[in-house]
A and B are shown apart, each in its own frame.
Chain A
Amino acid sequence: MKKFLIFLTMAAVMTVAGARAAELWIGAAEADITPDRPVSLTGQFHVRVSSTNNILSRCKANVLAVESREQGQPSDCAILIACDVCYLPKAIQSRFREHVAARLKGFDASKLLLTATHTHTGPALDQGWYDDLGGAMPPEEYVDFFFARLAEAAAKAWTGRKPGSMAWGLGHAVTSQNRRSVYADGSAAMYGPTGKPEFRGLEGGENHTVDFLFFLDADRKPLATAITVACSAQVDEGLSQLHADYWGDVRDELRRRYGEKYVVLGFCGPAGDLVPRAILRKSAEARMEQLRKLNRRQELARRIVRAYESTWDVVKGDVRTELAFAHRVERFELPGRKITDLEYETAKRNYEPLAAKAKLVGGEAAHKNWYKRTIARYEAQKTAEPRHEVEMHALRLGDVAIATNPFELFLDYGMRIQARSPAGQTVLIQLASPVDDATYLPSERATKGGGYSAVPESSLVGPEGGQALVERTLTAINALFKK
Chain B
Amino acid sequence: MKMKSLSLAAGAVILASAGVASAAELWIGAAQADITPDRPISLSGQFYNRISTNVMSRCMANVLALESRDNGTPVDCAILISLDVVSLRDTQEEFKRYIANRLPGFDTNKLFLAATHTHTGPTLAQTNFNNYGNAMQPREYVPFMFERMGDAVAKAWESRKPGAVAWGLGHAVVGANRRVAYANGTSVMYGKTNVPEFRGLEGWEDHAVDILYFFDAGRKLVATTIAVPCPSQTVEHLCEVSADYWHPVREELCKKHGADLVVLGFCAPAGDQVPRLMLRNAAEERMQRLRKLNRLQELARRIVDTFEETWEVAQVDIRADVPFAHRVERFEVPGRKLTDKEYAEAKKGYEEYSKKDDKIAEVYGRKNWFKRTLDRYEAQQKAVPKGTIEMHVLRIGDVAIATNPFELFVDYAMRIQGRSPAGQTVLIQLASPVGTNGYLPSERAVAGGGYSAVPQSSQIGPEGGQMLVEHTLAAIRRLFGK
Residue of A nearest to B201 (CB): A205
Q: Is B283 in contact with A288, judged by CB distance below 8 angstroms?
A: no
B143 at the interface (CB under 8 A from A): no
Report chain A residues within 8 Å CB of B144: none
Chain A residues 296 to 325 lying within 8 A of chain B, measured CB to CB, are 303, 306, 310-311, 314-315, 317-318
Chain A residues 254 to 273 lying within 8 A of chain B, measured CB to CB, are none
One of A91-99, A236-244, A409-417 contacting the partner: A409-417
B207 at the interface (CB under 8 A from A): yes
Bound CA–CA A314/B205 (angstroms): 26
**How many Å from the CB of A362 to the closest CB on chain B?**
29
* B: interface residue count bin: 35 or more
Report chain A residues within 8 Å CB of B470: 197
Residue of A nearest to B302 (CB): A172
Residue in contact with A420 in the complex, picked from B194, B310, B424, CB distance below 8 Å: B194
Q: Is A412 in contact with B199, judged by CB distance below 8 angstroms?
A: yes
Report chain B residues within 8 Å CB of A201: 203-204, 410-411, 414-415, 442, 444
Report chain B residues within 8 Å CB of A315: 287, 290
One of A39-47, A54-62, A277-285, A365-373 contacting the partner: A277-285
Digitize A395-413: 1 where CB-to-B-CB distance is under 8 Å, 0 elsewhere. 0000100000000000110
Report chain B residues within 8 Å CB of A195: 418-419
Report chain A residues within 8 Å CB of B173: 172, 174, 208-209
**How many Å from the CB of A458 to the closest CB on chain B?**
19
25 contacts between A and B (CB under 8 A): A170-B283, A170-B286, A194-B417, A195-B418, A195-B419, A199-B415, A202-B204, A204-B200, A205-B177, A205-B200, A205-B201, A205-B204, A206-B204, A208-B207, A285-B169, A287-B168, A314-B290, A399-B286, A412-B200, A415-B200, A415-B201, A418-B280, A419-B194, A419-B198, A420-B198
Bound CA–CA A34/B302 (angstroms): 38
B341 at the interface (CB under 8 A from A): no
On whether A318 and B423 interact (CB within 8 A), knowing A201-B411, A281-B208, A444-B199, the answer reads no
**How many Å from the CB of A194 to the closest CB on chain B?**
3
Digitize B382-401: 1 where CB-to-A-CB distance is under 8 Å, 0 elsewhere. 00000000000000001000
Report chain B residues within 8 Å CB of A200: 411, 415, 442-443
Chain B residues 187 to 208 lying within 8 A of chain A, measured CB to CB, are 193-196, 198-201, 203-205, 207-208
On whether A284 and B169 interact (CB within 8 A), knowing A201-B204, A204-B204, the answer reads yes
Digitize A161-177: 1 where CB-to-B-CB distance is under 8 Å, 0 elsewhere. 00000000110101000
Residue of B nearest to A419 (CB): B193
Give the number of A-B contacts (CB < 8 Å). Answer: 142
Bound CA–CA A316/B302 (angstroms): 20
Report chain A residues within 8 Å CB of B205: 205-206
B284 at the interface (CB under 8 A from A): yes
Bound CA–CA A445/B411 (angstroms): 16
Q: Is A411 in contact with B200, judged by CB distance below 8 angstroms?
A: yes
**How many Å from the CB of B477 to the closest CB on chain A?**
12
Bound CA–CA A306/B290 (angstroms): 18
Digitize A407-450: 1 where CB-to-B-CB distance is under 8 Å, 0 elsewhere. 00001100110111001111000000000000000011100000
Report chain B residues within 8 Å CB of A310: 305
Residue of A nearest to B314 (CB): A291
Bound CA–CA A25/B198 (angstroms): 38
A178 at the interface (CB under 8 A from B): yes
A3 at the interface (CB under 8 A from B): no
Q: Is A416 in contact with B199, judged by CB distance below 8 angstroms?
A: yes
A483 at the interface (CB under 8 A from B): no
Q: A281-B425, A283-B422, A399-B282 are in contact. List 17 more A-B contacts (CB 8 A).
A: A170-B286, A204-B204, A205-B200, A206-B207, A209-B280, A209-B283, A281-B169, A287-B423, A288-B313, A291-B168, A310-B305, A317-B290, A415-B200, A419-B198, A420-B196, A425-B283, A443-B199
A292 at the interface (CB under 8 A from B): yes
